[in-house]
Structure 1
Amino acid sequence: MTILIIEDEEPTARKLQRLLADVVAEGRVVGITGSVDESVEWLRANPKPDLIFMDIELADGQSFDIFNRISVASPVIFTTAYDEYAIKAFKVNSIDYLLKPVKEADLRQAINKLQALRDVLVDQKSKSGMNSLEASMANLLQHLQHIAPSATPHAVTTDRPRPMPFAFRDRFMIKQGQRLFSVSIDEVAFFFSRNKLSFLKTRDEHEWLVDYTMDELVQMLDPRRFFRLNRQVIAELRAVDKVHLYFNGKLKINLRPAFEEEVVVSREKAGELKLWLGE
């Protein structure tokens, strides 16, 4: 089984590749891409993989844009830190939808689901000269593309519930030279990424490196207090100073303390943010 990983965070891609090596003995990762443009170019230039693992939020847009630019002739397992895209995912070639950080048990279940679907859908095409894997993949893709897009959220069986409140992180260990100390979550204004590293910024404007990806952080934080504004920023409620209407239904956010770059919330997440803020 050949596998393409579409993921813009290198540590997450490497971790998924390691998990796949344990879970899919016959699997072979043939490519790793990190953006919509790079993925489209790869798919045009290479034989179609048997399976694609696809993050949804990429550096240059959502991976759904890939389907608008090229015919994707492979089944897809989506991996994402967000759970609001489940319905949209099942309108394309999706066989499963895994929340980050991906766990081995969930990955194994998704692969088993692919195998089961593939076996069930082997039909006369397997007798036409194609090998059984090629035939079953072709039938699986045809089946996925004709599933009615009225799937409900209840069809998403592999999403894990968010941890109970007591499981959320209440402090983070910081390393400064040879010194270790902890920062209470109450001191954190927001988390942000820079050059593929993650940092927290405190209310008194100190910045500290944290040893987690943004996708991992969003799973550790209480969603009543923290909201992922975009790929780069996860803000605490009190750090959202002002919200401005932006073009195309987007929102522009002023943080307190200030963030060095413009913070824009996508149109897709704008409604969710308004609800979180108490609209």
Structure 2
Amino acid sequence: MNVFIIEDEELAVRKLTRLLEEVDPSLRVVGTAPSVRASVKWLESNTTDQASAPDLILMDIELADGQSFEIFEQTTVSAPVIFTTSYDEYALRAFKVNSIDYLLKPIKRHELEASLEKHRRLSNGQGVDSAPRIAIDALVQQLRQQVTPTDYRRRFLVRHLSQWVPVEVQDIAFFYSESGVSLFRTKANQKFSLDYTLDELEAMLDPEHFFRANRQYIVSINSVQQIHPYFNNKLKLTLKPDPDEEVLVSRERASDFKKWMGK
């Protein structure tokens, strides 16, 4: 089976590829793409070639240049899709397109196995359109229960020089991604790396205290010192300690960010 992965975090691509190999060594990842534009280009170049045409697409919803739903508006997607994301708010739209399943990050092996088995059953002479209808209200309720754990992460065990040290979540100023690696900065301006993607970290953190400002940053409410209007309806944040680059809240999240800060 040929699999095409649409995901904008390099670490997540590597983890998903490794998980697919563990679940079924016969699966072949024939391509990856980090954005809507790259996905459309790849699909239009490879779907006519039987050797590289995907039998299944694993698709993250939030990409570097927009939401993956835009792919369906720009090109024909003939292969069934398994959406992967941390956001249950997209569940309704996800199941209205060519999707056969929906996996919440961090993806668990047994859930991926179940999705692949579902795909095999549907492909065995039935086709995706004959899949049983899913009760959307029940689905959304189930996703909310999964994406909002009752016990959020309280500390991380990280490598420091030749030893492992615990760092309390309350002492972390912000998490960020740099060259495909996830890191965090403490309020004391110490830097550590983590073996989690930002999507996985977002699901672990209490949304009362942490906010996903953009695809590269998750900020603690206590680290935000100033909020400045920015062009195109974005917001520019002044954080403590100072990050190495500008931290902008995307236009789509600016309203939610202001509500979060004003609670």
TM category, shorter:
0.7 to 0.9
List aligned pairs for 1:17-166, cutoff 5 A: 17-24=17-24, 26-47=26-47, 48-119=53-124, 122=126, 136=127, 140=128, 152-156=136-140, 159=143, 160-165=146-151
What's 1:239 paired with? 223
Structure 2 gap ranges (5+):
48-52
User: Which SS does the other structure have where 2:89 is aligned?
Assistant: coil
Give the AA of the match of 1:183: V
2:50 maps to none
Aligned-residue sequence identity (percent) comes to 48
Q: Which amino acid aligns with 2:31?
A: G
What amino acid maps onto 1:197 in structure 2? V
Q: Which amino acid aligns with 2:27?
A: G
What amino acid is the match of 2:181? L
Alpha carbons 2:86, 2:147 under 8 Å: kept = no
CA shift in 2, pair 1:40/1:23, >3 Å:
same
Deviations 1:12-39 (A, max 9, x none): 2222223223434653222222222322
Q: 1:157 to 1:207 in 2, by over 3 A?
A: same
The alpha carbon displacement at 1:89 in A equals 1.8
The number of residues matched between the two structures is: 255
Query: Alpha carbon RMSD of aligned pairs, Å?
Result: 2.8
The 3 A distance-change label for structure 1 pair 4 and 186 is same
1:124-162 alpha-carbon deviations (Å, 9 max, x no partner): xxxxxxxxxxxx3xxx2x669xx99xx735335873243
Secondary structure of the residue aligned to 2:37 is helix
- The Cα shift of 1:248 comes to 4.8
Instruction: Give the distance between the partners of 2:116 and 2:261, measured in 1 at CA.
Output: 38
Normalized against structure 2, the TM-score is what? 0.83
Q: Which digits, 9 at most, give the CA deviation of each residue in 1:49-68, with x for residues without a partner?
A: 11100112223333223223
Alignment of 1:111-260 (within 5 A): 111-119=116-124, 122=126, 136=127, 140=128, 152-156=136-140, 159=143, 160-165=146-151, 168-260=152-244
Contact kept, 8 Å, 2:104 with 2:147, in 1: the verdict is no
Uncovered stretches (5+) of structure 1, i.e. residues with no partner = 123-135
Pair 1:186–1:107, CA change in 2 (3 A)? same
SS in 1 for 2:77: coil
Q: Does the 8 Å contact 2:11/2:181 carry over to 1? A: no
Per-residue CA deviations over 1:109-128 (Å, capped at 9, x if unaligned) read: 22233344445x73xxxxxx
Given that residues 3 and 58 in structure 2 are in contact (C-alpha distance below 8 angstroms), is that contact kept between their aligned partners in structure 1? Answer: yes
8 A Cα contact 2:147 2:203, kept in partner: no
- In structure 2, the residue matched to 1:127 is none
CA offset digits 1:178-231 (Å, max 9, x no partner): 243222222111111111112111222222223322122222222221111111
Q: Is the 8 A contact 2:83 2:101 kept in 1?
A: yes
Normalised to the residue count of structure 1, the TM-score between the two structures is: 0.79
Alignment CA distance shift 1:244-1:158 (3 Å): same
Structure 1 residues 158, 13: closer, same or farther in 2, change over 3 A? farther
TM-aligned CA deviation for residue 266 of structure 1: 2.9
CA displacement at 1:234 relative to structure 2: 0.7
Larger radius of gyration: 1
CA change 1:68–1:276 in 2 (3 A) is: same
Asked if the contact 2:122–2:130 (Cα under 8 Å) also holds between the matched residues in 1, the reply is: no
Q: CA deviation at 1:100?
A: 0.8
Distance 2:55 2:35 in 1: 20
